[in-house]
Structure 1
């Protein structure tokens, strides 16, 4: 039965056969994540109606703390993204961030960047055998920037695309920082392309009806394969605020390991400049698929920090004395004059100039100037979001 546009509709019936059945011994999607526990996740069924009027019509993705679904509101036919959290979350930081954004919204009217930040439309709670699951109801978005990058030749974007993408990210950060929020988890997985052609949402539902997604039976539940959505070149949207911090000054570990700013690694106070550090790494990774920094020693956090800081020293030179004086941790890696003494050697073959192969000539020179304004030891010396937006590399200007 096709879904019509009139209000108050009965839910549709979804196929119970005609799909690829995945071998029970194979891991599917979220099952591949470290520390996966099946009982933490809500056992969603395709076609299930949650919150009384949202029918689940497709799976869109998954993560360490949630699965993501496409839902259709049976009252008016409108589509929504349903982010269903695991039941072991003691404190849902993303929920606190959305409440904060709602509280400050009146003071943010007209401020640029709102369209580049994901909004929360509604929330509800589901109960499973093993606990409660908070559900966010949000506007549907397309695929992540990382997924889109994997579809490109050589897994890299052209410069014009990169400058446009970074522009939009900066607008979103401008809004978040004005709201006294630090994202801390800014990378291409958390940047989604907005949908400008909503017909793709109905197409996804029809696809699930007529060509249902592959799935695996796991006792009393199914684990489904996700569908990708891309409905036109809409604006980039910053998503996933589960690691975001409210306020301007923070302390303690944050950011994914390869993206960590030096002040985070060295347990200094940190704030919004860590997001600008991440913008520098993001800009690099969109032009060149190999990340600037790596996960060097997965089994040893201490050794990984040493390799990470050694690579930073090779690329940026030794940190200034005023930076070293801010952390007792720094004495493990440098003497007072900035001479490296860490447990691993400083690489001798690393430089921005040699690694930056996608660009040449003046364009390369301008990009490296742009990068040096963001990848700086002293957080207060990094460009702000507004200063970064006006940099000549993004604006296509002439020589610095």
Structure 2
């Protein structure tokens, strides 16, 4: 992704550099460790193993990092239990456009009786710490296990058994339903590495699971949807810090062209996720350049609807005034043909999978179905 393509998408030419970096964060090259030069004024907080934070949490080891936070395994000195502590960069701690703590509080309080409550990450504690690089917000959450993206790599060709795909999909839909209907939150970043396994009762640290087979795949498994760092309130989408939500490979058509977006954008990402889990590959490569996305959509799903090309404030980047592509393509490779040609092993209802995906992967957001309709779909309900 190039800044010269991103900058015009922001409403002000004086947008702070921080916001541009935030918009780019999910598309930047990934490294095994966070860049050391980001331990600077306004950057990461330097943690020390064994130190006690906020007079309560002992730092055990690093669990991971993101573009504007590091995550640590901590042990509560009062309860002798383990948790995950997300330490924000100082420069994003007080940014008014980010509401992650508010979202996590809403998740806790909205409706604990809802079936999707247990499939969302739960906040345990919140506080600030002062360090050499500034003031840092810390969010302590329950400790979870391995990410779905890494777990899938344990299986041949990255294809999860289809029964397991259905189990996970049901739980992710319930998690999304809780966010959409009870919390008034659009996640905007539904993807496999934001879905983690809950640890079994009594487990202390994430374990490396063995690969079960057939009907024995991960019985009674629970997954949770995490990372509300770039989410938004569903009734205040216009306040989100960028129009360019979602990673390019998961980006909904209405987002690509700058048309009005909302909850259906999450449904599109869910469709991409289900395809990835069932087929063992991304629908669109994660290395794709953002400028190629609408053309790949056309290859798989046909031309963009006229209402999107007409109303999208960035349509001129990709389309002519009549709605036709600036760079027309003659080739088509419909999604249904791809699935039939490379059908998932063990799936006795390939046509059901195609129909299920079609309900989500529709170019017009108004034609995507509700989460409740997806939960009731025969393909998802079958073994």
Name the TM-score class by shorter chain. 0.7 to 0.9
Secondary structure of the corresponding residue to residue 127 of structure 2: strand
Partner of 1:96: 102
Q: 1:347 to 1:389 in 2, by over 3 A?
A: farther
Partner of 1:38: 39
Q: 1:88 to 1:370 in 2, by over 3 A?
A: same
Partner of 2:260: 269
Structure 1 gaps of 5+ residues are 1-26, 202-227, 299-303
Q: Deviation per CA, 1:203-223: give whole Å up to 9, x if none.
A: xxxxxxxxxxxxxxxxxxxxx
Q: Structure 1 residue 150 and structure 2 residue 153: aligned?
A: yes
Report how far residue 336 of structure 1 moved: 6.8
TM-score (norm 2): 0.79
Secondary structure of the corresponding residue to residue 91 of structure 2: coil
Give runs of aligned pairs for residues 107-118 of structure 1, distance below 5 A: 108-118=111-121
Q: Structure 1 residue 294 and structure 2 residue 285: aligned?
A: yes
Cα contact 2:73–2:82 (8 A) shared by 1: yes
Give the whole-Å Cα distance in 1 for the aligned partners of 2:234 and 2:177.
14
Partner of 2:309: 324
Secondary structure of the corresponding residue to residue 154 of structure 1: helix
Give runs of aligned pairs for residues 271-286 of structure 1, distance below 5 A: 271-286=262-277
Give runs of aligned pairs for residues 166-185 of structure 1, distance below 5 A: 166-178=169-181, 179-185=183-189
Partner of 1:341: 325
Give the whole-Å Cα distance in 1 for the aligned partners of 2:287 and 2:249.
9
Report how far residue 347 of structure 1 moved: 6.3
Q: 1:332 to 1:77 in 2, by over 3 A?
A: closer
Partner of 1:124: 127
Partner of 1:186: 190
Give runs of aligned pairs for residues 359-374 of structure 1, distance below 5 A: 359=344, 363-374=349-360
Q: 1:229 to 1:82 in 2, by over 3 A?
A: farther
Give the whole-Å Cα distance in 1 for the aligned partners of 2:326 and 2:282.
23
Give the whole-Å Cα distance in 2 for the aligned partners of 1:118 and 1:184.
16
Secondary structure of the corresponding residue to residue 88 of structure 1: helix
Secondary structure of the corresponding residue to residue 259 of structure 2: coil
Partner of 1:69: 72
- What is the alpha-carbon root mean square deviation over aligned residues? 2.4
Report how far residue 31 of structure 1 moved: 2.8
Give the whole-Å Cα distance in 1 for the aligned partners of 2:189 and 2:326.
27
Give runs of aligned pairs for residues 195-210 of structure 1, distance below 5 A: 195-201=199-205
Partner of 1:87: 90
Report how far residue 109 of structure 1 moved: 4.2
Report how far residue 333 of structure 1 moved: 3.8
Report how far residue 49 of structure 1 moved: 0.8
- Among 343, 350, 354, which residue is 2:337 paired with? 354
Q: 1:109 to 1:143 in 2, by over 3 A?
A: closer
Structure 2 gaps of 5+ residues are 1-30, 210-217
Give the whole-Å Cα distance in 2 for the aligned partners of 1:250 and 1:123.
25
Cα contact 2:123–2:139 (8 A) shared by 1: yes
Q: 1:262 to 1:135 in 2, by over 3 A?
A: same
Report how far residue 249 of structure 1 moved: 5.7
Q: Deviation per CA, 1:1-47: give whole Å up to 9, x if none.
A: xxxxxxxxxxxxxxxxxxxxxxxxxx852239xxx612221211111
Q: Structure 1 residue 241 and structure 2 residue 228: aligned?
A: yes
Give the whole-Å Cα distance in 2 for the aligned partners of 1:87 and 1:332.
35
The structure having more radius of gyration, on CA atoms, is 1
